[in-house]
């Protein structure tokens, strides 16, 4: 008599699972100094505060007539962009943390399903990004693509 092992059914990931994992991965990448004894939101808000401080600092030295003033303007704009992106991602993480809203979010993202699937497939092959030293560029592009999807919550 032969025994057959039953394979455990594979859980298919829905859009909610995929976007939640992507948002969490972005937060983990943004906060490499995250400690296990802190919640990810603590580390992310600390990083957010550092972007806000940099933004406020460089804003004071904005002067288009000098090179250092133009540098300050560019630094201000970069800090402002990073602040806004991280703020949106944090808010999206907070919204997505409510498991009871799974059906609502799956319905909400139904028109972006293909885009989310493509992002998740690329994320699943993240070892290739590390080998090619494209990890930072990948996460920057991922933030740029996922941020507009998360702004629809508010």
User: Does the pTM exceed 0.85?
Assistant: no
For the chain, the helix, strand and coil percentages under 3-state DSSP, each to the nearest 5: 75, 0, 25
Higher pLDDT, 8 or 128: 128
pLDDT bin (cut points 50, 70, 90) of residue 9 is low
How many C-beta atoms surround the C-beta of residue 124 within 10 A?
12
Percent over 90 (pLDDT), the chain:
58
Q: What is the pLDDT of residues 10-60, one digit of tens each?
A: 677 889 999 999 999 999 999 888 777 778 898 999 999 999 999 999 999
* Cα gap 80→103, rounded to integer Å: 33
pLDDT at 149 over 70: yes
Higher pLDDT, 85 or 34: 85
Query: What are the extents of the domains in the chain?
Result: 15-153
Instruction: Compute the half-sphere exposure of residue 44: CA atoms within 13 Å on the CB side of its CA.
Output: 23
pLDDT bin (cut points 50, 70, 90) of residue 129 is confident
Q: What is the pLDDT of residues 39-51, one digit of tens each?
A: 889 899 999 999 9
């Amino acid at each position: 008599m032969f025994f057959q092992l039953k394979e455990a059914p594979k859980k298919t990931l829905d859009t909610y699972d995929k976007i939640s994992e992507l948002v969490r991965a972005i937060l983990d990448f943004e906060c490499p100094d995250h400690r296990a004894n802190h919640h990810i939101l603590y580390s992310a808000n600390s990083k957010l505060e550092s972007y806000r401080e940099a933004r406020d600092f460089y804003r004071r030295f904005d002067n288009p007539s000098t090179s250092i003033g133009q540098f300050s303007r560019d630094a201000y704009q970069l800090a402002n962009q990073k602040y806004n992106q991280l703020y949106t991602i944090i808010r999206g993480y907070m919204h997505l943390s409510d498991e009871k809203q799974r059906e609502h979010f799956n319905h909400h993202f139904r028109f972006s399903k293909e885009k989310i699937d493509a992002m998740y497939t690329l994320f699943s092959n993240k070892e290739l990004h590390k080998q090619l030293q494209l990890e930072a560029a990948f996460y920057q592009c991922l933030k740029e693509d996922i941020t507009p999807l998360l702004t629809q919550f508010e």
